[in-house]
Amino acid sequence: MPGKVRSHINQNEPLLFERSSPGKKGYQLPELDVPAVDAAAALGAANTREEIEDFPEVSEVEVIRHFSRLSTWNYGIDLGLFPLGSCTMKYNPRVNELVARTEGLAWAHPYQPAEVAQGAMEVMAQLESALAEITGMDAVTLEPAAGAHGELTGVLMIRALLESRGNPRKKVIIPDSAHGTNPATAAIAGYGVANLKSNDKGVIDLEALSRIANEDIAALMVTNPNTLGVFEEEIAKVTGLMHSRGALVYMDGANMNALVGITRPGDFGIDVMHLNLHKTFSTPHGGGGPGAGAVAVKSHMEPFLPAPRLTRVNGMWNWNWDRPRSIGKVRAFYGNFGVALAYIMAHGAPGLRQATLDALLNANYIRKGLEPYYDLPYQSPSMHECVFSDERQAKLGVRTMDIAKRLIDYGFHPYTVAFPLIVHGALMIEPTETEGKQELDLFIEAMASIAKEVETDPQFVLKAPYDTRTSRVDEVTAARKPILRWKREAAVSQAAD
Ligand SMILES: *Cc1c(COP(=O)(O)O)cnc(C)c1O
């Protein structure tokens, strides 16, 4: 059996609740040498309880081993390649985290008055101006919590700007190569969605766009490079066309890892865009957080940015709430802004550009390496990711999900499965710049080896993974009826099933 994943000696780690037995404890205290206090009398009966039902009783060594074992069950970027397309799972150099953990940043309190938060505010201001320069935009807010939240912020600003011109309009055009969050954002901002079919190169068809860009259209939301990893080469014509129809252009900038240091959205006519600091700028992401979106705008949209805005008065940073046209606050407090600035400053302009070039090189290295084994539906040049389809393997009954499951046995996190939707049975692969040639070669070998397994023994691949603690789980039931909390009755009734 190939691969880096090894079964642990203890395949089925029980929950601490299940390991519990009465009277075990993880501590030893000396005899009480002061008068005992009646807790209920001191704190009030409502604030105390005799017993916590089903509280696990375990020893110290059991607790340590339990959590240490669980910590080895996870796959992370520190273990190996994480080729999840669209997610930009790059390795975050430790020094960025060290810098971001500086006491003044790590311990800053959101209610700290501006006079004692000058350092943190200076970091935010510097990050805003670095991001404005990188994107070619005029102003940046760090308020949104993540990419999708940035989209919502941006589209609400588009609505506010159009309203100020007298008509918010009705629909947003979204190409079929867009990220799924885009139509969701448009709908939440109160717009209908007008779908735009890509041409056979996988990019926007200017004529088709021109046909639907009427006076009902508020904006185009474009992901560039799009989710096929293809750069929209006609983007300047696209933005020109939309502006000539009185509409705006939102760019989903989650794929900026392909553009930083090479081209700037502000230079090709984008009005408003978001950045995923937790993708392009190395801020850690995972487990649903902590994300950090940033929204960048051209000057005509600046008045609508969320309040408050950083402002410097007499050499001191302050918050300016006097923003009558602002869409308002979109989040209570600021999230992680330290890592991104550390990353940008550690690289400098030449380093950021090199990172982009390395990301493109790595994606194209994988594309070339896998082309003999997997179908590549769009031949347009790849930027930072490449999208294959399972067409060849599907003829033998093996689909993209099965290949991804088998990849786990080879010690890699799966690629993105069945997305983007315009590729039937997609395998979307993004290596990022942080991988070296050795790791990329191992990945290509693994994928090639799986393609051969599919030809010789498809049934074998269909039952993968073999080298993990659980194999195929019932994903539909897991999503529809999740059991998020251990309860004795549930455990008993499951055991009886
Ligand atoms: C990740 C991603 C998003 C959403 O960003 P979140 O931070 O996950 O909300 C939107 N668009 C694209 C293209 C993405 O890759």
- Of the pLDDT bands very low, low, confident and very high (cuts 50, 70, 90), residue 496 is low
Dist. CA 184 → ligand 1 center (Å): 12
pTM over 0.85: yes
Dihedral sign (CA 309, 310, 311, 316): positive
Q: What percent of the chain has pLDDT over 70?
A: 95
Do 272 and 217 lie in one domain? The reply is yes
Decide: 276 in ligand 1 pocket, CB within 6 A. Answer: yes
Higher pLDDT, 470 or 371: 371
Please give the number of the atom of ligand 1 that sits closest to the Cα of 181: 10
pLDDT of amino acid 361: 98
Dist. CA 147 → ligand 1 center (Å): 5
Instruction: Tell me if residue 192 falls in helix, strand or coil.
Output: strand
Dist. CA 272 → ligand 1 center (Å): 15
Cα 468-473-477 angle, rounded to 5 deg:
160
- Of the pLDDT bands very low, low, confident and very high (cuts 50, 70, 90), residue 495 is low
Mean pLDDT calculated for residue range 56-64: 94
Instruction: Tell me if residue 434 falls in helix, strand or coil.
Output: coil
What digits encode the pLDDT tens for the residues 352-363?
999 999 999 999
Dist. CA 158 → ligand 1 center (Å): 19
Dist. CA 288 → ligand 1 center (Å): 12
Helix (H) or strand (E) holding 387: strand 386-389
- Of the pLDDT bands very low, low, confident and very high (cuts 50, 70, 90), residue 342 is very high
Decide: 223 in ligand 1 pocket, CB within 6 A. Answer: yes
Q: How far is CA 215 from CA 23, 142, 162, 172, in A?
A: 74, 32, 12, 11
What digits encode the pLDDT tens for the residues 384-408?
999 999 999 999 999 999 999 999 9
Highest mean pLDDT among 8-17, 270-279, 460-469: 270-279
Please give the number of the atom of ligand 1 that sits closest to the Cα of 276: 7
Decide: 252 in ligand 1 pocket, CB within 6 A. Answer: yes
Dist. CA 177 → ligand 1 center (Å): 13
Dist. CA 254 → ligand 1 center (Å): 6
Mean pLDDT calculated for residue range 180-203: 97
In a domain, 127, yes or no: yes
pLDDT of amino acid 294: 97
Structural contact between residues 270 and 284, judged by C-beta atoms closer than 8 angstroms? no
In a domain, 494, yes or no: no
Mutation probe of ligand 1 site: the residue of 84, 174, 181, 281 with most atoms within 8 A of C-beta: 181
Query: Pairing between strand 248-252 and 217-223?
Result: parallel
Is residue 430's pLDDT more than 60?
yes
Q: What is the CATH number of the domain that holds 465?
A: 3.90.1150.10
Which range (73-87, 256-270, 292-306) has the least confidence?
73-87
Dist. CA 348 → ligand 1 center (Å): 25
Please give the number of the atom of ligand 1 that sits closest to the Cα of 255: 13
- Of the pLDDT bands very low, low, confident and very high (cuts 50, 70, 90), residue 64 is very high
180: which DSSP letter? T
Dist. CA 459 → ligand 1 center (Å): 35
Closest CA to 199 of 167, 171, 234, 168: 234
Do 316 and 431 lie in one domain? The reply is no
Is residue 153's pLDDT more than 70?
yes
Do 163 and 244 lie in one domain? The reply is yes
Instruction: Tell me if residue 429 falls in helix, strand or coil.
Output: strand
Question: Cα 57 to the chain's mean position, in Å?
Answer: 38
Decide: 224 in ligand 1 pocket, CB within 6 A. Answer: no
Dist. CA 53 → ligand 1 center (Å): 41
pLDDT of amino acid 1: 45
Do 47 and 134 lie in one domain? The reply is no
- Of the pLDDT bands very low, low, confident and very high (cuts 50, 70, 90), residue 289 is low
In a domain, 351, yes or no: no
Is residue 295's pLDDT more than 60?
yes
Do 267 and 303 lie in one domain? The reply is yes
- Of the pLDDT bands very low, low, confident and very high (cuts 50, 70, 90), residue 287 is low
Do 52 and 118 lie in one domain? The reply is no
Q: What is the CATH number of the domain that holds 302?
A: 3.40.640.10
Mean pLDDT calculated for residue range 192-221: 97
What digits encode the pLDDT tens for the residues 404-415?
999 999 999 999
Decide: 181 in ligand 1 pocket, CB within 6 A. Answer: yes
- Of the pLDDT bands very low, low, confident and very high (cuts 50, 70, 90), residue 74 is confident
Quickly count: other Cβ atoms within 10 Å of residue 87's Cβ: 20
Do 151 and 20 lie in one domain? The reply is no
Please give the number of the atom of ligand 1 that sits closest to the Cα of 146: 7
Which range (142-151, 224-233, 266-275, 334-343) has the least confidence?
334-343
Higher pLDDT, 6 or 300: 300
Distance CA 174, CA 153 (A): 17
Mean pLDDT calculated for residue range 151-169: 98
pLDDT of amino acid 488: 77
Q: Whose CA is nearest to atom 4 of ligand 1?
A: 147
Annotate 459-485 with b (16+ C-beta within 10 A) or e (fewer): eebbebbebbeeeeeeeeeeeeeeeee
Decide: 179 in ligand 1 pocket, CB within 6 A. Answer: yes
Higher pLDDT, 497 or 179: 179
pLDDT of amino acid 173: 98
The position carrying tokens 């009734």 is 493
In a domain, 430, yes or no: yes
Distance CA 193, CA 214 (A): 13
Do 328 and 364 lie in one domain? The reply is no
Please give the number of the atom of ligand 1 that sits closest to the Cα of 285: 7
Annotate 292-330 with b (16+ C-beta within 10 A) or e (fewer): bbbbbbbeebbbbbbbbbbeeeeeebbeeeebeebbeeb
Q: Is 31 exposed, middle or buried (0-12, 13-18, 19+ CB in 10 A)?
A: exposed
Q: Whose CA is nearest to atom 2 of ligand 1?
A: 254
Q: Whose CA is nearest to atom 15 of ligand 1?
A: 86
What digits encode the pLDDT tens for the residues 302-313?
999 999 999 999
Instruction: Show the domain range for 59.
Output: 16-71
Decide: 177 in ligand 1 pocket, CB within 6 A. Answer: no
In a domain, 148, yes or no: yes
Decide: 88 in ligand 1 pocket, CB within 6 A. Answer: no
Please give the number of the atom of ligand 1 that sits closest to the Cα of 86: 15
Q: What percent of the chain has pLDDT over 90?
A: 78
Q: What is the DSSP string of 265-330?
A: GGGGT-SEEEEETTTTT-----TT----EEEEE-GGGGGGSPSPEEEEETTEEEEE---TT----S
In a domain, 117, yes or no: yes
In a domain, 9, yes or no: no
Please give the number of the atom of ligand 1 that sits closest to the Cα of 88: 15
Is residue 378's pLDDT more than 70?
yes
- Of the pLDDT bands very low, low, confident and very high (cuts 50, 70, 90), residue 10 is low
Domain end position, chosen among 272, 306, 336: 336
In a domain, 353, yes or no: no
Do 281 and 411 lie in one domain? The reply is no
Is residue 62's pLDDT more than 90?
yes
Is residue 183's pLDDT more than 90?
yes
What digits encode the pLDDT tens for the residues 434-474?
999 999 999 999 999 999 999 999 999 999 999 888 888 89
Do 190 and 284 lie in one domain? The reply is yes
User: To the nearest whole number, what is the mean pLDDT of the chain?
Assistant: 93
Domain end position, chosen among 277, 302, 336: 336
Decide: 291 in ligand 1 pocket, CB within 6 A. Answer: yes
Question: Cα 37 to the chain's mean position, in Å?
Answer: 51
Is residue 127's pLDDT more than 60?
yes
Is residue 4's pLDDT more than 70?
no
Dihedral sign (CA 321, 130, 286, 92): negative
Do 302 and 424 lie in one domain? The reply is no
**Domain tally, the chain:** 3
Mutation probe of ligand 1 site: the residue of 87, 89, 142, 179 with most atoms within 8 A of C-beta: 179
Which range (57-66, 457-466, 488-497) has the least confidence?
488-497
pLDDT of amino acid 2: 47
pLDDT of amino acid 333: 87
- Of the pLDDT bands very low, low, confident and very high (cuts 50, 70, 90), residue 491 is low
30: which DSSP letter? P
Q: What residues pair up with 313 in beta bridges, in sequence order? A: 316
Do 141 and 272 lie in one domain? The reply is yes
